[in-house]
Chain A
Amino acid sequence: MQTTYTSKQLKSQAKGQLIGHYTGAIGAEVTAFSLIFCLSLFSSSMTDPYSLLGLIFRLAITFIISLLQSIFLFGLTKYYLNTVTAKTPKLVDILSGFSSHADRIILAKLFLMLLEAVCLIPFIASVFVYLHFRNPLLFVLACFLFVCAIIGLAFIGLTYSQIYYLFLDFPQAGVKQILRMSREMMKGNKARLLYIEISFIPYDILGLLSLGIAYLWITPFKRMVRTHFYLSSI
């Protein structure tokens, strides 16, 4: 049964749940980040950014890495759900996406990337047109399309924010079904999640002020709040 908790209650629950679990959560975050970072570093060192072929190769590698990122995100989601549900979270949880749901996660991610591309293409096209003609009116149009793209990306992000949790909760469901479930789940909840995400801005400022060190604690906290949001919304 759905219980609507306020942002403050969700944060309080997340903070309480994380006490005593920070070491493991930070370890999981750092491991996932390091693996992705090493892959990115390795791929960028292999390509020559000044040739067309190198540029295409780098774009392809970036695309593959973003797909891998989604699998790690699924693993991290499992880690935090295990923490919340009083199971013993393990570091190997972050790799669980590779063994169980990789194909479905990649399909869902591809769909989301396609939607994001649809949002961004008009803006990118308008920038190219502006750079060619240098018309002030086209600049205004590009700015307007940029705002539209941001709104569209935020809408997509919020609508399909629950897919990784749903993949875990409904292992038998197909990709289309999961996407539909996420859409239905977020009906009437998008503003609530947006408010929660905006309320993280002061934490982000603290993270930046500490040169990123505070993100080691802030990131697990954010993910835990999102996990509690899912549990309170389903």
Chain B
Amino acid sequence: MDFYQNSRNNDSVQPFDAVAKPGNALASASMILGIVSIGSAFLIPVLLPFVCGALAITFALLSKGYDNRLSGRAVAGLATAIAGIVLHLITIITTIFLITTLPAYQEQFQRIYDQLYEETYGDDFHYDHPQSTHDFSDFLPGGLN
């Protein structure tokens, strides 16, 4: 009989109903990353909440082990991660909505854009504000008049 078939016949292979230690480390990591996801949802408008949220959900799901139920910490991690991702999505959608509808935010956005453009390329963005027909705000619904 071969190597692995021998091993499978041993008692060393865990049966499906075996009791194993739960993935405490993974569940804890999930909870911490979930909290970071919520915390960063409003503060940092980049991908951090998505990255932390996705990792938190993955860890929560993998921490189940042989159990069919999630531990308390894993549930907390899952809930905070989903909340963090949803809040970040709401933040992004709200920001886009405000920039495209309110003139005050459009002006602010244009100022930040100009500043970043100048920092990156060492030159002004070429348009004659606000008389130019090629104004940057023309690209936005509502314009900047």
Of A12, A81, A86, A218, which is within 8 A of B16 by CB?
A12
Q: Is the pair A213, B23 in contact by a Cβ cutoff of 8 Å?
A: no
Q: Tell me the complex Cα distance, A203–B68, Å.
A: 18
User: How many residues of A are counted as interface, with CB atoms below 8 angstroms from the partner's CB atoms?
Assistant: 32
Instruction: Check if A84 is an interface residue, CB within 8 A of chain B.
Output: yes
Q: Tell me the complex Cα distance, A103–B82, Å.
A: 49
Closest partner residue, chain B, to A170 (CB atom): B2
Q: Is the pair A171, B8 in contact by a Cβ cutoff of 8 Å?
A: no
Closest partner residue, chain B, to A12 (CB atom): B66
0/1 string, B10-40, CB within 8 A of A gives 1 = 1011101010111100100000000000000
Q: Is the pair B7, A87 in contact by a Cβ cutoff of 8 Å?
A: yes
Instruction: Tell me the residues in window 103-156 of chain A with beta carbons closer than 8 Å to chain B beta carbons.
Output: none
Instruction: Check if A169 is an interface residue, CB within 8 A of chain B.
Output: yes
Instruction: Check if A9 is an interface residue, CB within 8 A of chain B.
Output: yes
Instruction: Tell me the residues in window 188-210 of chain A with beta carbons closer than 8 Å to chain B beta carbons.
Output: 203, 206-207, 209-210
Q: Tell me the complex Cα distance, A86–B18, Å.
A: 14
Instruction: Check if B58 is an interface residue, CB within 8 A of chain A.
Output: yes
Instruction: Check if A13 is an interface residue, CB within 8 A of chain B.
Output: yes
Instruction: Check if A183 is an interface residue, CB within 8 A of chain B.
Output: no
Instruction: Tell me the residues in window 215-234 of chain A with beta carbons closer than 8 Å to chain B beta carbons.
Output: 217-218, 221, 231
Q: In the complex, how many angstroms separate the beta carbon of A115 from the nearest chain B beta carbon? A: 27
Of B2, B5, B13, B62, which is within 8 A of A217 by CB?
B62
Q: Is the pair A214, B4 in contact by a Cβ cutoff of 8 Å?
A: no
Instruction: Check if B51 is an interface residue, CB within 8 A of chain A.
Output: yes
Instruction: Tell me the residues in window 30-82 of chain B with beta carbons closer than 8 Å to chain A beta carbons.
Output: 47, 50-51, 53-55, 57-59, 61-68
Q: Is the pair A221, B4 in contact by a Cβ cutoff of 8 Å?
A: no
0/1 string, A165-183, CB within 8 A of B gives 1 = 0001111000000000000
Q: In the complex, how many angstroms separate the beta carbon of B24 from the nearest chain A beta carbon? A: 9
List residues of chain B with CB within 8 A of the CB of A15: 23, 62-66
Known: A15-B64, A19-B20, A85-B8. 11 other contacts (CB 8 A): A9-B16, A13-B14, A15-B63, A16-B20, A18-B62, A85-B12, A168-B3, A171-B3, A203-B58, A214-B54, A214-B58
CB-defined A-B contacts under 8 Å, sample of 13: A12-B65, A16-B14, A16-B20, A18-B62, A19-B20, A19-B63, A19-B65, A168-B4, A169-B4, A209-B54, A210-B55, A210-B58, A214-B55
Residues of A within 8 A of B (CB): 5, 9, 12-13, 15-20, 22, 81, 84-87, 168-171, 203, 206-207, 209-211, 213-214, 217-218, 221, 231
